Chain A
Amino acid sequence: MITPHDKSNKQGSLYGIMAEFDDPESLLEAARRARDEGYRAMDAYTPMPVEGLAEAIGFSSNWVQRLVLVAGLCGASGGFLLCWWMTVIAYPHVVAGRPLNSWPAYIPITFETMVLISCITAVVGMLTLNGLPQPYHPVFNVPRFEHASRDKFFLCIEASDSKFDPAATRQFLLDQNPQEVSDVAS
């Protein structure tokens, strides 16, 4: 899509081998078998989230929620400190005889800054961990890959896998009853 397809003919520039499936169940089954076979470096590409697929390719991550937890704590304490500093240190101003550190009044702002910082972190963190924005990725070299955002389901075993062997891996994928198997140029 972004680079010309003829690159795939060049020697030694294989990113991986990709199989195309018609429905999520076949892909899920193939991914489980690939993992049982001993493949580790692989990824699946689907037009919508498929339950259990990440586990099937052996992937789990909880960094998004950790980042958001830290961000929420920072946002809340930052918001509270801001209010405290504004009313006690920077601009002390007695209103109706109440104490300068009138903390219950700070709670709404504390809450809002907590939500704001958490949400920004959730989105920016998710994109960063996913390596996005990423203008180029080898999988887009597969002509049929445009269906990955529409109605087809792909499994790609990457060449970086220690067990990867162009002929054997291709045969393994062909045995999974896919629609098509193609090489992915890097």
Chain B
Amino acid sequence: MKRRSNPTRLGRSGREKLTNVILEVVLLLVGAFYLYPVFLICINSVKTPQEMAKSITALPKDIQWSNYADVFKDISYPMLLRNTILVTAIGVVGVIVISSLAAYILNRRRTSYTKALRAVLIAPILIPFHTFMVMLLKVMVNLHLAGSVWGLGIQYWGFCTPMAIFIYYNFMDTIPKEMDESAKMDGASTLYSFFHVIFPLLRPVTITVLVLDIMWIWNDLILPLLMVNTNVATRTLTLGVYSYIGHFVSNWNYALCAMVMSVGPSVVIFILLQKYIVDGVVAGAIKG
């Protein structure tokens, strides 16, 4: 093979650098354009209606923080936030306990029974929510799970578990069986050895499951709308803001404040934890 001379190589990498710089500038512009709607929402949320009527694109001259204070009170923001945190916490803790235990046993005891059970338990991944939502309310009312924050959190156990079992089960293959056998030799019960030996090893996929399910539950509208909409005190953040914008508010600037207050926490948390979140989302999608 011919050896490449040095000058052409340098020229090539120089050209590559130049393309990269041009590409970076173009992409920065595209990125700014991409988030421009969000920027418009933010700047208009602190304008007066009169200022908004003049121009949407101009920067606010007289910043009205009082818009936020008003909306904060109107939608009882702390209550909505508390409900959402509660629902999400109940949901993800239940999902992680239920699905990691089930996946552990299904993975370690391979009989025809557990194989069939595994297929049945992960099959619902393919069933979209909207295909059974019509009858869901009736079933949940009968189970006394509709109308309360607790009930709503518990309902997510059912929806998130199939995917979580699937993810846990596949990862369990990478943990050698000797790990739990040695724990058993020491006289530990199955439950003890699971929580002290196996569960800590599941950390990477537990993060994946956490990310997927927190994002789902935190942002969900349809299930809270069906289950807890009748009582104002049980609404979640997305639902509270949805009904506030949809039914109560006629001023766009208040509506915009509510939007910022609704998606603000998720965006801030994403920026702080983005490595985990992006990795979790990618892992969840590839395994799914």
The reply to whether chain A is a binding partner of chain B is: no
A residues with CB within 8 A of B: none
Interface residues of B (CB under 8 A from A): none
